[in-house]
Every structure is written in structure tokens, then in C-alpha cells.
Amino acid sequence: MISTVSLNRSHGGVQGVYRHDSRATGTEMTFSVFVPPRPGAVGFPVVFFLSGLTCTHANVTEKGEFRRTCAELGLILVAPDTSPRGEGVPGDPAGAYDFGLGAGFYVDATQEPFARNYRMWTYVTAELADVIAEHFPADMERQSICGHSMGGHGALTIALTHPDRYRAVSAFAPIAAPSLAPWGIKALGGYLGNDMSAWRRHDAVALIEDGARLRDLLVDVGDADPFLAEQLRPELLEHACATTGIPLNLRRQVGYDHSYYFISTFMAEHLHWHAARLKA
């Protein structure tokens, strides 16, 4: 059962925001869905967009500038929250922005006190997908995934783990090797503990090193991104793809930073990338 928070007409389609009680997280979860103008009974391909640290569904919904292109291409875009929220959901004890609330890192936590609620991997890959299939005119045989920063990490690791489910993947400024980045070390250690083999299953570069493969990959980073060198490490993804023969289109965009000004500039190009692979 889902409840409707808001519905707005946009580019001939409908932008909705919805809530439901999640079995995976044990909390109420909010997500947004844009449904393009419907030409008939045929289901639309679905693009999942995973957002970054501190974000909710609202960031890309309000600032991503995707609706015109989704309407033109006939794509549903789904934007979940980035972590569970609500009374009793633990956050970072020190109140930091990079762990806990708004920073679920798209893993299923195994460490207390996070294991009960922080199950974003299961939420995105299983529960939310089922909700979309049940309530929206979606063709779940044609799914793809995209994300930004922490969400780029999530998109890459999910697609690498389920290459037969997601026909396309792209990312904006992804945390490419979280096992080697301060944000990732904190999150993976806090949610998964000290077992580094568990970390590797949620590290795109490590997954590729361990045999995971993709058909191809589009990644944009801004060369003015303040997190580029320490947190994102795109050169490690570039090396891993080159070594294993994964076609990677890594675009270093001159003068762009980490913000939605960057994302919205190149969002249409990413959606065209997805559409070409979803409709093939």
C-alpha cells in the first residue's frame, strides 16, 4: 500500500511523491516517480536515480531537470530516499553528515545499532522495485540505474552485482573506490564492520577486480569538484575498466563542481544513454 503525498502535471506527464511502510527498513519511506505521457498500454522503461550524502528524493526531483527529456523519451524516473528516517532510527553519534541519516550508502548494514533499519540495498533492489512494478505503468524487464556521488557508488555496485537486471548504468561523480576513500571507509566500517571482504562487495573497483563486468559505462566528473582527488578517485575506476576491457566513457567536465548545477547540465545526455540501451 502506498499513499500519495503530491501530484503535479509536468511536460504532459505526472510527477508524484509517495510514501509507504517499508519492510526492508522498518520505517516509512518516501520516493518520487515521474511518469511520462502514456501513449497506450505498453509499459515504460524505468530509470532508478540514487542520490548522494545528505540528500532525499527531493534533490533530484526538484533540481535534476529530467522531466522534459523523460517525457520525450518515454522513461519513468524513480528517486528513492538515501537512508531510512524517523523516530528511533540511529544516526551518527557525533551528528556528522557523512554517516547515518541521509548517508545509508546503499548497503544492508550488519552492525548494531544500524542493522535493523539500514537495509538500503534490499530496499532499492527488491522492495522498491516491487512497489514500482505493482503501482506504476512500468516495464520491469527494462530497468536501468544512475546516481550521484554516494548514489553513483550505489548505482555502480548494484549494476555490477545484477548485470542481467539493469540494462544500463551511468553515474555523476561516483565514489568509485569507497574502500580507499574517507567517506567510504567510515560508512563501510560502520555498517559492515571490519571484514574487508564484505566491503569489496560494495566497492565498484573491487567488484571489477573480482570479476564483475558491465556492458559499458558512462561517468561524468567535474574537474572543479572539491571531492575529486580524495573521495571520488575516478582514475581507479578508469584503470579497472581499462584492465578488464569494460568500455568506459569517463568525461572530465571542465569547470564543473559536485552540485546539481553540474548534474542538471548533463542529465539529458545520461537519459539518452539509458534510453538507447533500454529500448534496444
Phi, psi angle pair for 86, to nearest 5°:
130, 175
Q: How many CA atoms lie within 13 A of 133 on its CB side?
A: 11
Residue 111 C-alpha cell reads as 552492525
Has 258 been annotated as catalytic?
Answer: yes
* Residue 278 near residue 48, CB atoms below 8 Å: no
Q: How many CA atoms lie within 13 A of 31 on its CB side?
A: 30
Has 149 been annotated as catalytic?
Answer: yes
* Residue 47 near residue 76, CB atoms below 8 Å: yes
Name the active-site residue from 81, 203, 220, 225. 225
Q: Measure the CA–CA gap between 76 and 168, rounded to whole angstroms.
A: 14
Identity of residue 239: H
Q: Measure the CA–CA gap between 260 and 263, rounded to whole angstroms.
A: 5
* Residue 152 near residue 258, CB atoms below 8 Å: no
Residue among 47, 49, 58 nearest 85 (CA): 58
Residue 275 C-alpha cell reads as 534510453
The string of DSSP codes covering 123-170 is IIIIIHHHHHHHHS-EEEEEEEEEEETHHHHHHHHHHHH-TTTEEEEE
Name the active-site residue from 32, 51, 83, 149. 149
Name the active-site residue from 148, 153, 202, 258. 258
SS3 233: coil
Q: Which residues are catalytic?
A: 149, 225, 258
